Amino acid sequence: GGLSQAGEGKSLLDEGNNTTFIAVTSGKGGVGKSTVSVNLAVSLARLGKKVGIIDADIYGFSVPDMMGIEERPQVINERIHPVDRFGVKVISMGFFVEGNAPVIWRGPMLGKMLNQFFSEVEWGELDYLILDLPPGTGDVALDIHTMLPHSKEIIVSTPHATAAFVAARAGAMAIKTHHEILGIVENMAYFESKLTGEKEYVFGQGGGDRLVEELKTDLLGRIPLGQPDLREDVFAPSVYEETHPIGKIYMDISKK
């Protein structure tokens, strides 16, 4: 797609903006939605795309920690300037709360906050905006559907039957609200023994395939269990290097 300007006071919601919005959803928490969001954003940036990410998980924001971000966005002329990390422009709910205080806003407040992220952040040109949504089909997910009628979705699930079952509900909501599902990412799909190269299916098998069938979409990739090698120069506990076997899988997914 073409490039769009959301600079100089422009909003990502302005007419004529061509940014592709990709909401990452899951139904269940703890399946790796934030990990997948962060790594897809970083690998799209590695492909030369202009990428932003909004950590919209109000109650469980984790993107700053995962990307190793300690700084806060600057506010210049009443415009919020996102933090740049690995070539990705980052905005998180976590930037706007004191310490680790629980966030207890009600639905309408959350929607307002998100709207501000779209219109009061100086994103500049963006090809892709990745949205890391809270689990479930609650207020924020509904707000996103209303605010961004053209956003596309990636659904993350583990291979476990329960996770897939709940993810199917998130997918059903996407279909009901006419949002295109780009595909399924099956996370924690297996554990590969370094000694034997054999795969162990720790969380079972079939969740991803079942979703593909049920939602009539594609399997974008399977991510095994494994941690990034922590670099000393950039402390980012959840960002895989391009050369890491899992980093390569994320690059393949981003190309798709």
By CB under 5 A, residue 34 contacts Mg ion: yes
- The entry of Mg ion, ligand ADP, none that residue 35 binds, CB within 5 to 8 Å by partner kind: ligand ADP
Report what 31 binds from ligand ADP, Mg ion, none; CB cut-off 5-8 Å by kind. Answer: ligand ADP
Footprint (CB under 6 A) of ligand ADP, residues 166-225: 187-188, 223, 225
Q: Give which of 206, 157, 151, 143 is closest to 181, Cα–Cα.
A: 151
33 is in an annotated binding site: yes
Helix H segments across the chain? Answer: 33-46, 63-67, 107-119, 139-147, 161-176, 207-215, 245-255
* Binding mask of the shown chain, residues 56 to 85, with x at each position contacting Mg ion by CB under 5 A: -x----------------------------
Minimal distance, residue 12 CB to ligand ADP, in Å: 23
**Parallel, antiparallel or unpaired: strands 74-76 and 5-6:** unpaired
Measured from the CB atom, the residue of 29 and 206 that comes closer to ligand ADP is 29
Q: Please pick, from the candidates 3, 7, 18, 30, the single residue that binds ligand ADP as defined by CB under 6 A.
A: 30
Site string for ligand ADP, 227-246 (x = CB under 6 A): x----------x--------
Q: Any residues with CB less than 8 A from the CB of 238 and at least 6 apart, and which?
A: 34, 35, 38, 39, 65, 66, 67, 228
Least distance from C-beta 38 to ligand ADP, angstroms? 8
**Cα distances (Å, whole numbers) of residue 87 to 65, 125, 252:** 16, 13, 18
92 interacts with ligand ADP by CB under 6 A: no
Distance between CA atoms of residues 12 and 143, nearest Å = 15
At residue 143, the 3 state secondary structure works out as: helix
SS3 167: helix
Q: Judge residue 167's burial from the number of C-beta atoms within 10 Å of its C-beta, 0-12 exposed, 13-18 middle, 19 or more buried.
A: buried
**Pick 170 or 181: Cβ nearer ligand ADP:** 170
Closer Cβ to ligand ADP, 6 or 38, answer by number: 38
**31 among the known binding-site residues?**
yes
Residue 32 found at the interface with ligand ADP (CB under 6 A): yes
Report the DSSP beta bridge partners of residue 85: 88
Tokens for 236? 């980012």
Which C-beta is closer to ligand ADP: that of 31 or that of 67?
Answer: 31
How many residues bind to ligand ADP according to rule CB under 6 A?
A: 16
Name the residue whose CB lies closest to Mg ion.
34
Cα-atom radius of gyration of the chain, to the nearest Å? 18
> Could you tell me which of 40, 51, 70, 50 has the C-alpha nearest to residue 153?
40
9 is in an annotated binding site: no
Interacting residue ranges for Mg ion, rule: CB under 5 A = 33-34, 57
Residue numbers belonging to the annotated binding site for ATP: 27-34
What is the binding site for ligand ADP (CB under 6 A)?
26, 29-35, 62, 187-188, 223, 225-227, 238
